[in-house]
Amino acid sequence: MTMLILPGLVDAHVHLREPGAPHKEDILSGTRAALAGGVVGILDMPNNTPPTVTADALFDKQRRFQRQAVSDYGLFLGFDGEHLDPVLRLAADAVGLKLYLDETFGDLTTREPEALARLFEAWPGPGPVAIHGESPSIAMALALARRYGQRLHVCHVPHPDDLLAIDAARQAGAEVTCEVTPHHLFLDSTALERLGPYGQMKPPLVSPDDVARFWERLDLVDAVASDHAPHSRAEKEWAQPPPGVPGLETTLPLLLGAVDEGRLSLERMQSLTHHGP
């Protein structure tokens, strides 16, 4: 038997459901799940009800985390296309600004080109602008990041070819980081028949060939992030199931399995789950 002592994982993309939907997950259960999975720090997304797009919402969420979280944490702000000035004033209180450029669970999609340009121009950091988007939206965000010299983080890269676009933008001088989810590395679209609604998430599972390409291009990836997005069983079994799967407790065992199989070095695993995030 081998004993490994590893630095704690940092998961840069989770959706604990508080406030708004604690029947799916709350801050205590979510941060306990994190610790159980070897994750000592999480970055929480803003698509709550109400969304984390104002000072009131951000400070309310901070108070909840201060009271209940048993892991380290950081909170993302969101942008709804309207509250630009308050969001800019809150930049130092958040780990970054999350933009939803395409539809997903929640109601935060922003596509208005002028609002996006103003945001890429004005966001002061220190955290990055982080985006949820399909391939065309990623291309648009990469162009905005280059144009305004804005630091960009691409969440849950949907397709391995997006890694090539990210690489090209980096070569051209853009400061871009990105993450891939465990389900895009360890599941493919052939699992949908077996998993039904439990295999539905955004971005969707990709073909076995594309999974292989994600592995081939893993050098271009900064972090593995779970996109932990729990829903209740009843919700998943509705006619229109919401997208999302939990992942806080499965990321580390999956990656260690890949290390055991020789598909990933232990050093690289640590850079994807600790140093990268």
Residues near ligand NCD (CB under 6 A) are 15, 47, 104-106, 132, 201-202, 227, 229, 242-244
Segment 147-151 long-range contacts (CB within 8 Å, at least 24 positions apart): 147/120, 148/117, 148/120, 148/121, 149/175, 150/120, 150/121, 150/123, 150/175, 151/125, 151/175, 151/176, 151/177
Residue 45: how many other CB atoms lie within 10 Å: 26
- C-alpha–C-alpha distance, residues 170 and 183, integer Å: 25
Q: CB under 5 to 8 A by kind: which of ligand NCD, Zn ion, none does 17 bind?
A: none
Residues 208-237 that bind Zn ion (CB under 5 A): 227
> Residue 142 or 225: which CB sits closer to Zn ion?
225
Provide, rounded to whole angstroms, the least separation between the CB of residue 185 and ligand NCD.
15
Provide, rounded to whole angstroms, the least separation between the CB of residue 16 and Zn ion.
11
Q: Is 122 exposed, middle or buried (0-12, 13-18, 19+ CB in 10 A)?
A: middle
Provide, rounded to whole angstroms, the least separation between the CB of residue 183 and ligand NCD.
9
Provide, rounded to whole angstroms, the least separation between the CB of residue 83 and ligand NCD.
20
> Residue 18 or 227: which CB sits closer to Zn ion?
227
Q: Does 11 bind Zn ion (CB under 5 A)?
A: no
> Residue 50 or 243: which CB sits closer to ligand NCD?
243
Q: CB under 5 to 8 A by kind: which of ligand NCD, Zn ion, none does 78 bind?
A: none
Q: CB under 5 to 8 A by kind: which of Zn ion, ligand NCD, none does 59 bind?
A: none
Q: CB under 5 to 8 A by kind: which of ligand NCD, Zn ion, none does 273 bind?
A: none
Q: CB under 5 to 8 A by kind: which of ligand NCD, Zn ion, none does 104 bind?
A: ligand NCD
Q: Does 179 bind Zn ion (CB under 5 A)?
A: no
Question: Which residue is it, tokens 């490994």?
Answer: 4
> Residue 16 or 169: which CB sits closer to ligand NCD?
16
Helices and strands (DSSP H and E) totals, the chain: 12, 8
Task: Provide the strand spans (E) within the chain.
Answer: 9-14, 39-44, 72-78, 96-100, 129-132, 152-154, 176-180, 223-224
Provide, rounded to whole angstroms, the least separation between the CB of residue 227 and ligand NCD.
5
Query: Buried b vs exposed e over 53-70: b needs ≥16 C-beta within 10 Å?
Result: bbeebbebbeebbeebbe
The residue number whose beta carbon is nearest to Zn ion equals 227
52 and 77 Cβ atoms separated by less than 8 Å: yes
Q: In the complex, which residues of this chain contact Zn ion (CB under 5 A)?
A: 227
